[in-house]
Chains A and B, each alone.
Chain A
Amino acid sequence: MTRNTVIRAVDIGKVVPTAEGNLSILAGVGLEINTGESVAIVGASGSGKTTLLGILAGLDLPSSGTVELAREEITALDEEARARIRGEHVGFVFQTFQLLASLTALENVMLPAELRGDPGAEPEALKLLEKVGLSERAGHYPRQLSGGEQQRVAIARAFASRPTVLFADEPTGNLDTSTGQKIIELLFDLNTEFNTTLVLVTHDSRLAQRCGRVVEIEQGRLRT
C-alpha cells in the first residue's frame, strides 16, 4: 500500500449459501484506490458490484481476502471497530436516498455529527444544505421533498461527516435524466471541494464517464 492508497482489496471472495448450494458472488477480486481518485464500478445486474461496494465500505465482510480502508485492515476488525472507521472516514449516498422519515432535512444532515457527539452540528448542517441549494427546505420532512431534493439532502448528509471516501450506490438510479445530471454535478463539485475519494456503483454511462477510472465487473470477477 503506497502512501496514497486509501483502499486496498486483496483476493476478495464472497460466497453465500442458497437452497441449491453455495453461490459464488465474488471471486479473486483485487483493487487499489488512491486518495482523491474517483472510481466507477460498472457491470450488469447481479454481477456483484453492489456486494463489492458493501465490502469495500466495511458494511459487509468477504468470505475470503482482506480489505484495508484508511490504513486499517477492516476485515480483521469487529463490527464495533468497523462502525468507528465508517464514522470517521466513510460517507454514503444510496439509490433509495435512505433518509430517516421521522427527521427533517436539517436533522438528517445533522445526524452523523450527532452520532459522533460533535458540538455545533447544526450550523455545519445548515451550511451543507445551502451548498446543495436546500436551505429553504431545512425544516421539511423527506415525504415533503421530491426525489432529487431527497438525494441532495442525502449528499449533504454524506459530506457532513467529512469523509475520506464517499461510497455511492446508483446515486442517480431513482431519478430522471435531468435531475440525475444535476445530482452528478453536485456530487463531483463537492467531491472536488472536500478532496474526497469517490467510489460509486452505477449503470449510468454518463456518470461512469465522469470518473477518473472505470472498473468493470462480470460474474463476480474484475475485467482487466
Chain B
Amino acid sequence: MNASIVFRMAWRDWRAGELALLLVALLVAVGTVTAISLFVDRLHQALLLESANFLAADRYIGGSNPIPEPYRKAVAARNLDLVDTMVFPSMIFAGVDRSQLVAVKAVEEGYPLRGVLRTALEPFTRGEEGTDIPPPGEVWLDSRLFPAMSVKLGDEVEVGLARLKVTRVLIAEPDRGGSFFDLGPRLLMNLADVPSTEVVQPGSRIGYRLLLRGEDDELDALEAELGFEDSSGYRWVDVREASPRIGSALDRAESFLLLGGLLAVLLAGVAVALSAHRYARRHYDHVGIFKTLGATPDQVMWSYVAVLALVGAAAVILGSIIGGLLHLGIVEVLKELIPIELPAPSLRPFWLGATTGFICALAFALPPLIHLRNVSPMRVIRRDLGSAPASQWLSYSAAATGSLFLLIWYSESLFLTFWTLVGAAAVLVLFGTLALLLLRGGRVVGMQAGSGWRLALSGLQRRHRENTAQILIFGLAIMLLLVLVLLRTALIDEWRSQLPDDVPNHFLMNITPEQVAGVRELLRKTRRQGPIYPMIRGRVVEVNGIDAKQWDARHRHPDDPGTRVGSERNLTWAAHVPKDNEVVLGEWWPSNEERSLVSLEDEYARELYLKLGDRLTFDVAGVRVDAEVASLRRLDWESMQPNFFIIFSPAALKDSAATYMTSFHLEREEKIFLNRLLSAYPTVTVIEVDAIIAQVQIIVDQVTQAVELILALVVVSGCLVLIASIQAGRDARVREHALVRTLGGTTRLITGALAVEFAVLGTFAGIIAVVGAEVTVALLQNQVFELPVQAHPWLWLIGPTVGGILILVVGLWGTRGVVSSPPMTVLRGADD
C-alpha cells in the first residue's frame, strides 16, 4: 500500500472518530508527562535555589586550612562565581570590662552568592534586605550583642588586635547554620580586616569556605574533577549535606513527584493500550477485506504502523503544546501559593514528554496493530475469526518491556521500579482471582434479583474475562489514586508534625547552676519552655579497659571516615527518659539509681560497636568517669529538641561542674524578650534557629502545593483511563443492549441494567483498590519514605463507595449513546 492510501486511511479513520480515543490517550500521556515534568523541573530548580540560601551558595568547598591554590585554579577555569569566607570563634571586647565569645564570620564582596543579608539600625527589629557587606574597618553585630555588651551603633569593639566600628545590626544571614558548635552570637566583618586582627595563628580553630555559584553541570563536573577524598581535609558540600532536614524533605518530595509522574505515565499507557486494542478490534473486518483484495500481511502491518506513527507524531506535537500551556496554567493558578520565582524550564521535560509518547505508542499501541497482520482473510466469510492468540504474547511482553523502560527511565531508581513491578504482578495475580470470585458471587446473588439486576449481573458473568480485566483496570486506577492520597496525607502530616507551630526555635546554653532558677523563672512566662538539661563536654577514653584509639582500630578500617569513639561529645544526665526518646534495648534506670550508668543512642552505639553491658571510661573535664551501658535509645533527630548521644545516670556525674541548656519558642514579635534575658544574664549564649525553621516551613508549604498539584493531574489521567476502558467495552454492550431492546427491553430496563453493571464493577474495583492501596502504601512508607506504617479503616468504606459512584457516573456518561441510538442502526452496521 502506498503512502497516499495510508494518509487517506488515517484521515478517514479520524473522520469516523476511530482514532480519536487513541490520539486523546497519547495526548494525555505526552501532555501529562510534559506538564508534570515542566512544573517539577522548574519547581525543583526553584526549591534548590531556595535551599541554596542555606549555604549562601550553590555549593561550597570547606576545610580547616586555607583553600589550596589548585582548587582555586580549577574553579577559575570554569564559569563559576566564587567568594571566600572564614568563620572562627573569638572573644571580643568593648569598653573596659565587657567581653563576649562570638562567632566571627569574615566575608568578601559578593557574599552571599545565594540569599540575602538582612540588617537594621535597631536591634531586634525585622530589618531590611541589602546586598552590601561591612566595609573594611566596620563590623555588624547580632542584636543580642548590643544589650549583652552595652554597645550601640558607632561604638568600637576589639576583635583580636583590631578595633572595628559597629555600624549596623545584623538581623539574618543565609548560612547561619543551626549547629550547637557554632557557638555564640554572630559578628560579621570584612575579610580584608582579618590580617590586622592577628587572630589567625597556627592551631586556631578556623573554618575556611569557598562559596560557589553556577550551573549544575559545571558544579558537578568540578566536583568530579577535584574528587574530594576524606584524606584531603576538604569537603564538598551541597544543600543535602549542609542541612539534612531540608535534604530529606526534598528527597521525599522528589520521590513523591517522581512516583506521581510515573503513575500518570502508566495510567496513560493503559489508556493507550485500551484504545489501540479497540481500534485494532474494529479493524479486523477491514483487514479481512484488504486481504481478500490482495493486501499482503506486511502491507497491512506497515499501513497500520504508519497510521500509528502519524497519530504518534500528532500527539507529540499537540501534547507538547498542551503540556506547555497546562503547566503555564498551573503556574498561573498557583502564583499566589508559590512565592518564589520559577526559573526558566530546561528542554528535558519536552524531550521526556515526546519520548514517553513514542514509547507509549510503541509498547502499548503497536502490538495490537501488529496483530492485525495475522487476521485471517477468511474473516470476511466467518466473522468469529479474530487474530492468532500466539501474538498476544507480543502484546503483553511489549507492554511489560515498555513499562519497565519508562519506570526505570522516569524514576531513575531500580528500587522504586522493582517495588512497583512486584506490586503490579501481585495485583494482577491476586486481584484477577479476587475479581473472578466477586463476579461469581454476583451471579449467585443476581439469580434472585429483579430483571434489571439479572440482566446486568448475567452480563457481568457472561463477559467475565473482559470484566475481570476491566475491574483490574478500574481497581488499579482507583488504587493508584488512593495510594497518592494516602501518601500525600502521610507525607504532609509528617512534615507538619516535625515542625509544629510551637517548635522550640531558640536554644539557651552556658547557663551556670546559679542562674538556672532565675532563667527558669524568666522563661516560665513564655509558656513554651523545654526541659533544662545539664551539659558538659567529655570524651570516651577506654572501652572495656581498651584504649579508645585501639578500639577504633580493631573495629574500623583506617580509611573509614565515620565517627570515632574518642570524639568529644556533649554529655548530660537525667533521672527520667527525655521526651521523644524511646528505650529500644535494656532498661532505663530508676530515679534513685546509685550506680554509674549510661544510655547511648542506638545508631551511635551500633556505629561504634558498643553494646549493653560494655564499660565506658570517660574523660570529663580531666576527671575519669566509669559507667556501664544500661540502655540504648532511639530518638527523633528531626524534632528540633535538644538531643544527646550519651546520657548518664544522675549519680555518675553528680560532682561535675556542668552548665545547663534549654530551649524555648519565641514568636518574631516577641524577640525583644531576648534583650531582657541577655541584660539579666549576659554570659548566657542564645542560639536562634527561628529563621531556619521559618525557611523549612516555607519549603514544606511549597512542596505540599506541588504534591497536591501532581495528585490532581494523576486524578485527571486516572479518569481518562476509566473513560478509555469504558469505551473499550462499549461495543459489546451496545450490541447486546440493542438486541435486548429489539426483544422489548425498555429504556428504563437498559439504563438500570447499565447502572447496576457499572456500580457493581466499580464497587468490586473499589474493594480491590483498597486492598492494593493498603499493601502498596505500607510497602512504600516502610521502604521508600521511611515513615511509620498505618492502617486506614475508613478507606474500606470510602474505597468501594467512591469506586461504585465514580464508575457509575463515568460509565453512564460513556455509554449514553447506547440507550438513545435506535437498535436498528446498531444491528445493521457491522462497524458500529
Q: Which residues of A contact B (CB under 8 A)?
A: 50, 53-54, 57, 59-60, 79-80, 83-84, 86-88, 90, 92, 94, 96, 98, 100-103, 107, 111-112, 114-117, 143, 157, 161, 169
In the complex, the answer to whether B294 meets A59 with C-beta atoms within 8 Å is no
Give which listed residue, B290, B291, B377, B830, contacts A96 with CB less than 8 A.
B830
Min CB gap B5→A, angstroms: 5
Return the 5 tightest CB-CB contacts between A and B, nearest first: A87-B294, A83-B296, A101-B831, A102-B16, A59-B377
B428 within 8 A of A: no
Q: Which B residue sits closest to A116, measured CB to CB? A: B294
Give which listed residue, B13, B380, B382, contacts A98 with CB less than 8 A.
B380
Bound Cα distance from A157 to B18, whole angstroms: 24
Bound Cα distance from A90 to B13, whole angstroms: 27
Give which listed residue, B16, B296, B380, contacts A92 with CB less than 8 A.
B380
Give which listed residue, B296, B376, B381, contacts A50 with CB less than 8 A.
B381
In the complex with contacts A54-B381, A98-B380, A87-B829 CB distance below 8 A: no
B15 proximity list for chain A (CB < 8 A): 102
B642 within 8 A of A: no
In the complex, the answer to whether A112 meets B296 with C-beta atoms within 8 Å is no
Min CB gap B408→A, angstroms: 37
In the complex, the answer to whether A80 meets B296 with C-beta atoms within 8 Å is yes
Min CB gap A221→B, angstroms: 20
Q: Which A residue sits closest to B289, measured CB to CB? A: A98
In the complex, the answer to whether A59 meets B299 with C-beta atoms within 8 Å is no
B689 proximity list for chain A (CB < 8 A): none
Min CB gap A162→B, angstroms: 12
B346 within 8 A of A: no
Q: Which A residue sits closest to B4, measured CB to CB? A: A114
In the complex, the answer to whether A59 meets B12 with C-beta atoms within 8 Å is no
Bound Cα distance from A111 to B289, whole angstroms: 10
B285 proximity list for chain A (CB < 8 A): 98
Min CB gap B738→A, angstroms: 15
User: Digit string of B480-502 for contact with A (CB within 8 Å is 1, else 0)?
Assistant: 00000000000000000000000
Min CB gap B304→A, angstroms: 14
Min CB gap A96→B, angstroms: 7
Give which listed residue, B1, B2, B18, B376, contacts A59 with CB less than 8 A.
B376
In the complex, the answer to whether B13 meets A102 with C-beta atoms within 8 Å is yes
Q: Which A residue sits closest to B12, measured CB to CB? A: A102
Bound Cα distance from A117 to B302, whole angstroms: 15
A169 proximity list for chain B (CB < 8 A): 381
In the complex, the answer to whether A112 meets B2 with C-beta atoms within 8 Å is no
In the complex, the answer to whether A80 meets B295 with C-beta atoms within 8 Å is no
A60 proximity list for chain B (CB < 8 A): 376-378
Give which listed residue, A50, A96, A115, A143, contacts B294 with CB less than 8 A.
A115
| 18 further A-B pairs in the complex, CB-CB below 8 A; given A87-B295, A92-B292, A143-B828 | A50-B381, A54-B381, A59-B380, A83-B295, A84-B296, A87-B293, A87-B296, A92-B380, A96-B830, A98-B285, A101-B16, A107-B8, A114-B2, A114-B4, A115-B293, A115-B295, A116-B294, A117-B2
Bound Cα distance from A101 to B832, whole angstroms: 9
Residue among B12, B298, B829 facing the most chain A CB atoms (10 A cut-off): B12
A84 proximity list for chain B (CB < 8 A): 294, 296
A143 proximity list for chain B (CB < 8 A): 828-829
Min CB gap B282→A, angstroms: 10
Q: Which residues of B contact A (CB under 8 A)?
A: 1-2, 4-5, 8, 12-13, 15-16, 18, 285-286, 288-299, 376-378, 380-382, 828-831
Min CB gap B321→A, angstroms: 28
In the complex, the answer to whether B831 meets A59 with C-beta atoms within 8 Å is no
Q: Which B residue sits closest to A117, measured CB to CB? A: B2
Bound Cα distance from A90 to B828, whole angstroms: 28
In the complex, the answer to whether B5 meets A86 with C-beta atoms within 8 Å is no
Bound Cα distance from A107 to B291, whole angstroms: 16
Bound Cα distance from A161 to B294, whole angstroms: 9
Bound Cα distance from A107 to B286, whole angstroms: 13
A102 proximity list for chain B (CB < 8 A): 12-13, 15-16, 18, 831
Min CB gap A99→B, angstroms: 8
A50 proximity list for chain B (CB < 8 A): 381-382
List, sorted by A's number, 11 A–B pairs whose CB atoms are closer than 8 Å. Answer: A50-B382, A54-B378, A79-B297, A83-B295, A84-B296, A86-B293, A87-B293, A98-B285, A111-B293, A115-B5, A115-B293
In the complex with contacts A59-B378, A117-B2, A86-B291 CB distance below 8 A: yes
Bound Cα distance from A117 to B1, whole angstroms: 6
B296 proximity list for chain A (CB < 8 A): 79-80, 83-84, 87
A86 proximity list for chain B (CB < 8 A): 291-294, 377
In the complex, the answer to whether B294 meets A100 with C-beta atoms within 8 Å is no
In the complex with contacts A83-B296, A161-B294, A114-B1 CB distance below 8 A: yes
Residue among A50, A98, A117 facing the most chain B CB atoms (10 A cut-off): A98
In the complex, the answer to whether B381 meets A53 with C-beta atoms within 8 Å is yes
In the complex, the answer to whether B299 meets A115 with C-beta atoms within 8 Å is yes
Min CB gap B9→A, angstroms: 9
In the complex with contacts A59-B380, A114-B2, A117-B1, A100-B297 CB distance below 8 A: no
Bound Cα distance from A101 to B298, whole angstroms: 23
Min CB gap A82→B, angstroms: 9
Bound Cα distance from A101 to B16, whole angstroms: 9
Q: Which B residue sits closest to A104, measured CB to CB? A: B12
Bound Cα distance from A3 to B255, whole angstroms: 76
Bound Cα distance from A84 to B377, whole angstroms: 13
B293 proximity list for chain A (CB < 8 A): 86-87, 92, 111-112, 115, 157, 161
Q: Which B residue sits closest to A80, measured CB to CB? A: B296
Q: Which B residue sits closest to A95, measured CB to CB? A: B381
B16 proximity list for chain A (CB < 8 A): 101-102
In the complex, the answer to whether B294 meets A101 with C-beta atoms within 8 Å is no
Bound Cα distance from A115 to B377, whole angstroms: 15
A59 proximity list for chain B (CB < 8 A): 291-292, 376-378, 380-381
In the complex with contacts A101-B829, A115-B290, A94-B380 CB distance below 8 A: yes
B5 proximity list for chain A (CB < 8 A): 114-115
Give which listed residue, B1, B297, B381, contacts A80 with CB less than 8 A.
B297
Bound Cα distance from A143 to B288, whole angstroms: 19
A87 proximity list for chain B (CB < 8 A): 293-296
Min CB gap A203→B, angstroms: 15
Bound Cα distance from A161 to B293, whole angstroms: 8
Q: Which B residue sits closest to A96, measured CB to CB? A: B830
Bound Cα distance from A85 to B12, whole angstroms: 28
Min CB gap B674→A, angstroms: 80
A116 proximity list for chain B (CB < 8 A): 294
Min CB gap B488→A, angstroms: 45
A161 proximity list for chain B (CB < 8 A): 293-294
B376 proximity list for chain A (CB < 8 A): 59-60
A107 proximity list for chain B (CB < 8 A): 8, 12
A96 proximity list for chain B (CB < 8 A): 830
B4 proximity list for chain A (CB < 8 A): 114
Bound Cα distance from A107 to B15, whole angstroms: 15
Min CB gap A63→B, angstroms: 14
B378 proximity list for chain A (CB < 8 A): 54, 59-60
In the complex, the answer to whether A103 meets B292 with C-beta atoms within 8 Å is no
Min CB gap A220→B, angstroms: 16
A117 proximity list for chain B (CB < 8 A): 1-2
Min CB gap B474→A, angstroms: 31
In the complex, the answer to whether B292 meets A80 with C-beta atoms within 8 Å is no
In the complex, the answer to whether B286 meets A100 with C-beta atoms within 8 Å is yes
Q: Which B residue sits closest to A92, measured CB to CB? A: B292
Bound Cα distance from A57 to B377, whole angstroms: 10
A101 proximity list for chain B (CB < 8 A): 16, 829-831
Min CB gap B676→A, angstroms: 86
Min CB gap A223→B, angstroms: 22
A54 proximity list for chain B (CB < 8 A): 378, 381
Bound Cα distance from A117 to B289, whole angstroms: 17
Q: Which B residue sits closest to A114, measured CB to CB? A: B5
B298 proximity list for chain A (CB < 8 A): 80
Min CB gap B411→A, angstroms: 41
Bound Cα distance from A48 to B290, whole angstroms: 24
Q: Which A residue sits closest to B831, measured CB to CB? A: A101
A112 proximity list for chain B (CB < 8 A): 293-294
